[in-house]
A and B are shown apart, each in its own frame.
Chain A
């Protein structure tokens, strides 16, 4: 990949000013990039910043972070050609990493709880419910509080009650700043 700063003369020579189809994206992102971009429907605009597919082709840059979703179709192929993989495996901001780990653990516990209830292993279900509660108390958020209530409802009635809105449990503490 080569980034190029062109003077007026060179840009004319290379056809940057030539409106008949030369795209800076090809020059900046590698030949074929403009073609990939066209996989995003023409005329599409980023709903957040208003960046258009034409802008992307013209500049080889995106308008804002939401553009990655807006132009996902055109970007996927390009990113595959450009990088060694297409899923990020590196650093995750701590705030998100903690939330992601907790969400993952919560999903695992909930699956186990559901199967324990189906199999009528109520002792195991009770212990899972306690684990879920502990996880909740560590850092509770309003959305997830509903899940706690739901689980509590299951264990207290001994029946498989699925929906039970908030009210029986203390209101959640505001999210702690990490």
Chain B
């Protein structure tokens, strides 16, 4: 199957729905595995990497859930194609930098993806819309169990699954959820939340994971530690924290509606105005403004059916996605900015104007706002 066919459709995690998907954009679990006795990719010679690649790629291809899949060596993907996969969270930025000896395999629904010879021999992930960490763990856990029948994974009696970096040893699992938290950002509570989450051994990061900036009010919450707890315990701990953040975000939005409705309406209105009329816009500005439109959809200012269009804008305005349809050489930043603005204008034209009068300034759902 060709990559162009895969990327013509947005993945399930973006277009699908799941529990609490207004605030929890997606849930993802990745497992790191290595083959016993083979040097890790960072230390292996090219021939060794190629041999590992062939072995793992063959095994992954045999999985029943990968019957319809896309499989390609990194060296055969263009920089633009790699970047599209990064923007969709199907491969990591680190993997995109790899060449000979590395590969990616994913299913057509884009819910499962396997990175071969990233930092570890195999990093496999499941990703879905909304808050469903248990479900995505079950998906990837099953793939792992099937793979271990044919692949001899490096496993230590005391340390568990062995990984190239000691920060991943044990379960080799990183579970994360992408949260959209404009309410907490506007009410300036988000740093407080990030600090308290960090204190309990969980990490909060920006849009593209480690070391990236938070844009579009999107934050990734994930486990830091992988040794000493079972997979279920880690996910349970993460779920608990995510539910709390979810509640804080709902409360923050409710309080903003009750006490600072004008500020909120102003933010959404200005975002709409700029996005409808801008002729040049950077990726960062676009994401931050689209975030307000998304919140406007949540608050009922835009029809609910516009949700997918708005969510797609988060991805479609990213640099590589902007250019994927074009048969031209790489665009410069300025050209991208005007292309991005045009795309957003066209998309927003299909949406009705926000109905400011419709904003619910009284609590519509039972939240804990009464208590605070």
Contacts and interface: CB of A to CB of B under 8 A. Distances in A.
B223 to A, nearest CB: 10
Contacts of B160: 88, 90-92
Interface in B62-93: 93
B158 interface: yes
A90 B224 CA distance: 16
Interface in B141-197: 141, 144-145, 148-149, 153-162, 164-167, 169-171, 173
B225 interface: yes
In this complex, the member of A3, A65, A78 whose beta carbon has the largest number of chain B beta carbons within 10 angstroms is A65
Contacts of A85: 227-229
Given A4-B211, A62-B40, A82-B166, A68 B228 contact: no
A85 B42 CA distance: 27
Contact of B40 (A1, A29, A63, A92): A63
A59 to B, nearest CB: 7
B354 interface: no
Interface residues of A, number: 41
Judged by DSSP, the binding face of A is: loop
Nearest to B237: A84
Nearest to A87: B158
Contacts of B231: 90-91
Nearest to B43: A63
Given A62-B166, A64-B38, A178-B149, A90 B211 contact: no
B63 to A, nearest CB: 16
Given A79-B166, A79-B169, A64 B228 contact: no
Given A65-B162, A68-B169, A3 B210 contact: yes
Contacts of B171: 88, 90-91
B93 to A, nearest CB: 8
Size class of B's contact patch?
A: 35 or more
A50 B79 CA distance: 34
Contacts of B325: none
A82 B153 contact: no
Contacts of A66: 37
B148 A59 contact: no
B39 interface: yes
Interface stretch (A93-101, A120-128, A151-159): A93-101
Interface string B216-235: 00000000111111110100
A90 B149 contact: no
A68 B149 contact: no
Contacts of A83: 169-170, 225-228
A84 B160 CA distance: 14
B43 A29 contact: no
B260 interface: no
Given A3-B211, A83-B170, A91-B171, A64 B37 contact: yes
Contacts of A91: 141, 144, 160-161, 171, 230-231
B45 to A, nearest CB: 10
Interface string A70-113: 00000100110011111111111111100010000000000000
A89 B37 contact: no
A88 B156 CA distance: 9
B158 A49 contact: no
A29 B201 CA distance: 15
A87 B228 contact: yes
A68 B156 contact: yes
Contacts of B167: 1, 29, 82
B97 to A, nearest CB: 9
Contacts of A29: 165-167
Contact of A94 (B148, B154, B229): B148
24 contacts: A5-B211, A29-B165, A49-B39, A61-B40, A62-B43, A62-B164, A62-B166, A63-B40, A64-B43, A65-B36, A65-B162, A68-B159, A68-B162, A79-B159, A79-B169, A86-B227, A88-B159, A88-B228, A89-B229, A90-B171, A90-B173, A91-B161, A93-B155, A94-B148
Given A29-B167, A84-B228, A90-B171, 14 more contacts: A5-B211, A29-B165, A51-B39, A61-B165, A63-B39, A65-B34, A65-B38, A65-B154, A66-B37, A79-B227, A83-B169, A90-B230, A91-B141, A94-B149
**Shortest beta-carbon contacts, A-B, top 6:** A85-B228, A88-B160, A65-B154, A83-B227, A63-B43, A84-B228
